Amino acid sequence: MKILSSYQSGLSSFFLEIGEMGKFTGRYFRELFSRPFEFREFLKQCYQMGNKSLLLVSVTGFILGLVFTLQSRPTLMEFGAVSWMPSMISISIVREIGPVIIALICAGRIGSSIGAELGSMRVTEQIDAMEVSGTNPFKFLVVTRILSATCMLPILVIVGDFVALIGSAIIENIKGDVSFTLYFNQVFAALEFTDLLPATVKTFFFGFAIGLVGCFKGYNSKKGTAGVGKASNSAVVFTSMLLFVLDFIAVFITDIFYN
Amino acid sequence: MENKAVIEIKELYKSFGAVEVLKDFNLNLFEGENLVLMGKSGSGKSVMIKCLVGLMDFDRGSIKVLGKDISKMKQNELDEIRTDIGFLFQGSALYDSMTVRENLEFPLRRHRKNSERKTEELVKEALENVGLQQTIDLMPAELSGGMQRRIALARALILKPKIIIYDEPTTGLDPITAKEIILLMMNIQKKYATSSIIITHDVDCARVISNRMILLLDGKNYAEGTFNELAASGDPKIKAFFK
């Protein structure tokens, strides 16, 4: 009985949180289109999220390309299909693996940092200080961060995908004696508009989810410094889960439209 | 001293669930006055100031700031009136991702259409007032607790507010730094003729700075008067505050 009631209360608090997040999202869209626009802060956040995540995304993408090619090579050789390597790698990376892996990396890097930053601002009364100075903290802190994450993630994914393909091309060059020109010719021949468009569109939603959850958890953080850690941690966990759900929805919709 | 009231709080009620934090609380702050509010922890002081600056809604009663009822204000009107109120937080609440300069520029850039030169001048003047010109390019984390409190005071003053609210300005500071902060508050009051509400547990601070005091007990005004009147009271509940 006790277990049942704990599940019930867990479930009800989960749905309450979803409801709160819905209200938070509604407020974001209302504030997004109202003046004043915090353009300077938006650019600053774009720099923080974009430029400072670039190295991490590039290294991850590069290793992803290397490992994926190394792992796939023996199987393709067994079937005599090694010449399909550039096509297979590029489609897999651009359509699915690149966006999902890089979004997960960014959920860790960007989502947790937003959660921790806003959480610590909340518990040290910096958000209250902003409000009593006559500045709307939601607009200044939340709107700019969500918008920056939404705009920066597609760019990071494009960079990550490209670096992953370079990693793959290096392995193919070393192991298969395939020139870079030939490799990339095959990549571009294999990729179609229907691969690029849905993959890019979904990264906007991934970026929005990362910014939204990080801001929601941080902005509503409570219970002192422990609350800051919890906000940061739950931002990453919740975003990661949400990314897979969004990915499933995106693939499902793409399937309806293109197949 | 009895000038016109800049803050009028009448019959203020605020509860959290079944717990009534403020019950029929009343307060008048007059122009140029330093009003000290003392009360035990949990007596509703912080809730009262949060209601006063619109950070928290209240259940019943009215709050007028500079003659305007804040419960009837739209968000932009509330933001406007907030520029007339400086707020010194207990923990300073400096924006820790910004330098001292950026902390001070923050309210200026939002509420005053000044040139870059004028903004720079005002920032320097505010820092001069608190004697910390050399910290202009430092981050808050590089400053001591007392220095952070003084910078927070400079930030609270930068828009030249008519009213300043101090939330436990000397808490957590050593006695020497606490005295410096009290002197600074007095100088500021003289220089800018501000009206202040000071929430404190520090009897020395109350003695030096107050023109009038209100003792808050269980969410109600328990006693009101000058420091000397209250300190001389025979009521054991009032005496307890001055021990």
Condensed to tens digits (0 to 9), the pLDDT of residues B137-193 reads 999 999 988 889 889 989 988 888 899 999 888 887 888 888 888 888 888 888 888
The B-side interface with A (CB below 8 A) comprises 50, 53-55, 75, 79-80, 82-83, 85, 87, 89-91, 93-97, 106-107, 110-111, 155, 159
Which residues lie below 8 Å from residue B117, measured CB to CB, with a gap of 6+? none
A5 located within any domain: no
Split at pLDDT 50, 70, 90, the class of A237 is very high
pLDDT tens by residue, B187-219: 888 888 889 999 988 888 888 888 899 998 888
Q: Which residues of chain A have a CB within 8 Å of the CB of B96?
A: 120-121, 124, 126
A70 located within any domain: yes
Tell me what pLDDT residue B32 has. 87
Q: Shortest CB distance from B93 goes to which of A117, A124, A135? A: A124
Q: How many domains does chain A have?
A: 1
Q: What is the mean pLDDT of residues A3-10?
A: 78
Q: Which residues of chain B have a CB within 8 Å of the CB of A117?
A: 97
pLDDT tens by residue, A33-46: 988 888 889 999 99
DSSP SS3 for B207:
helix
Q: Which residue of B has its CA nearest to A123?
A: B93
Split at pLDDT 50, 70, 90, the class of A110 is very high
**What number is the ipTM of this complex?**
0.85
Q: What's phi and psi for B196, nearest 5 deg? A: -135, 145
Chain A, chain B: beta-carbon pairs less than 8 Å apart: 55
Going from N- to C-terminal start, the domains of chain B cover 1-79+200-243
Determine how many CB atoms are found less than 10 A away from the CB of residue B194.
Answer: 23
Q: Do A165 and A65 touch, CB atoms closer than 8 A?
A: yes
* Burial annotation A71-82 (CB, 10 A radius, 16+ → b, else e): ebbeebeeeeeb
Q: Shortest CB distance from A125 goes to which of B93, B155, B159? A: B93
Q: Pick from B175, B169, B165: which is nearest to B81 by CA?
A: B165
Tell me what pLDDT residue B198 has. 92
Note down the domain range covering A49.
39-258
Q: Which residue of B has its CA nearest to A36?
A: B110
Min mean pLDDT across A167-176, A224-233, B139-148 is at A224-233
A34 located within any domain: no
A59 located within any domain: yes
Q: Which residues of chain A have a CB within 8 Å of the CB of B110?
A: 133-135
A85 located within any domain: yes
Domain B1-79+200-243: CATH superfamily, name plus number: P-loop containing nucleotide triphosphate hydrolases (3.40.50.300)
Split at pLDDT 50, 70, 90, the class of A24 is very high
Which residues lie below 8 Å from residue A226, measured CB to CB, with a gap of 6+? none
pLDDT tens by residue, B79-131: 888 888 989 988 889 999 899 999 999 988 888 888 888 999 999 988 988 88
The whole-angstrom distance between residue A184's C-alpha and the CA centroid of its chain comes to: 26
**Residue showing tokens 């760019």:** A155
C-alpha torsion sign, points A78, A81, A87, A92: negative
Instruction: Output the six-digit token pair for B110.
Output: 């939002």
Tell me what pLDDT residue B2 has. 54
A9 located within any domain: no
A24 located within any domain: no
- Beta strand extents in chain B (DSSP E only): 5-16, 19-30, 34-39, 60-65, 68-69, 85-88, 163-167, 195-199, 212-217, 220-225
If you write DSSP's letter for every residue of A44-86 in order, what string do you get? HHHIIIIIHHHHHHHHHHHHHHHHHHHHHHHHHHHTT-GGGHH
Q: Pick from A137, A100, A144, A139: which is nearest to A122 by CA?
A: A137
**Residue showing tokens 């430029």:** A51
Tell me what pLDDT residue A134 has. 85
pTM: 0.86
pLDDT tens by residue, A119-157: 999 998 899 999 988 888 999 999 999 999 999 999 999
